Amino acid sequence: MKISVVTTMYRSSAYLPEFYARIKENVAKLGLSYEIIMVNDGSPDNSLDVAVGIQQQDPCVKVIDLSKNFGHHKAILSGLSYARGDLIFLLDCDLEEEPENLELFYNEWLQGNGEFDVIFGVQREREGTFYRRIAGDLFYKFFNLISDEKIPKNPCTIRLMTKRYVSSLLEFKDQNVFLAAMFEKVGYRQKPFAIKKTYKGSSSYNLIRKLTLMMDGVTSFSSRPLLLIMASGSLIAFLSLVYALFLVFRKVFFQSVISGWTSVMVSIWLMSGLIIFSVGVVGVYVSKIFNETKDRPISVVRKVYEQGSETRNS
């Protein structure tokens, strides 16, 4: 049996040597043939040079150099497309997820006697600042509330997958990639495995990127925002009709009409805001349709460093 270890690199040069040494040692304990696939996601530091240096010393290492930064999730899919193992172990190389988890995940998979196609990591307790923990909890609660696809709370990148599961995952051709939901959308038998994930003190996912990711995830896997807009519009129209009938009733029977410039302006601003917001949500869906119809590749590979061939253009 062969296992493929897949990781992505972005500002990762400081972690790569230790990551490589620890993951190789862990693979050796399992007695499996292996390959280690490192994907350079347009890293601005010397991560590529460090990875290529490792590849030149170990023929089992393969380095995928993307032409620019396409994003973490797209880089992961690019790396998975090059995996040839019967099992694929995915994790980040920043050492927040310990490479030694490979042995634990593999033993968990063996205990299932092939029943599970995915053993995926979930955090026992979310690490980081108070803001990060609260924001993470709200993110998953809101996503599961509004999305058609439910995802577990606090999932991690780290996971052990069978080849058939990864092959099915790669059949998805979404341009707007949100892996947490895609992992669930593929199906198969999946089992969570609690791990402790350390927090190195910084993250490339700032508030704007997290909000963008949430918007991409919701609009890619749910049409409920459009249904909510329709329901809100229907409710406002109904309440407006009731209020109009009330005004007619007062005019006919009591010869009085409620006046007030302030109330009129508030109503106009409220309705204008709702209209602009609704148009914006619809615009997001239209833009996604536009992007999907282009059928562009999710990433572009500039070079592949592997055994028997120094580089390969793609």
More confident residue, 110 or 153: 110
Region 123-149: mean pLDDT is 66
Check pLDDT > 70 for residue 195: yes
| 248-282 per-position pLDDT tens digit | 777 677 666 666 655 565 567 667 667 777 777 77
Confidence of residue 5 (pLDDT cuts 50, 70, 90): very high
Q: What are phi and psi of 255, to 5 degrees?
A: 55, 40
In angstroms, the CA 273 to CA 271 distance is 5
More confident residue, 159 or 142: 159
Region 283-312: mean pLDDT is 70
Q: Quote the radius of gyration of the chain (alpha carbons, Å).
A: 25
3-state secondary structure of 34: strand
Check pLDDT > 50 for residue 311: no
* pLDDT score recorded for residue 312: 42
Check pLDDT > 50 for residue 155: yes
Chain centroid to CA 131: 20
Q: Give me the chain's average pLDDT, please.
A: 78
Kindly tell me the burial class for residue 192, based on how many C-beta atoms sit within 10 Å of its own C-beta (0-12, 13-18, 19 or more): middle
Which pTM does this prediction carry? 0.71
Percent of the chain having pLDDT more than 90?
Answer: 11
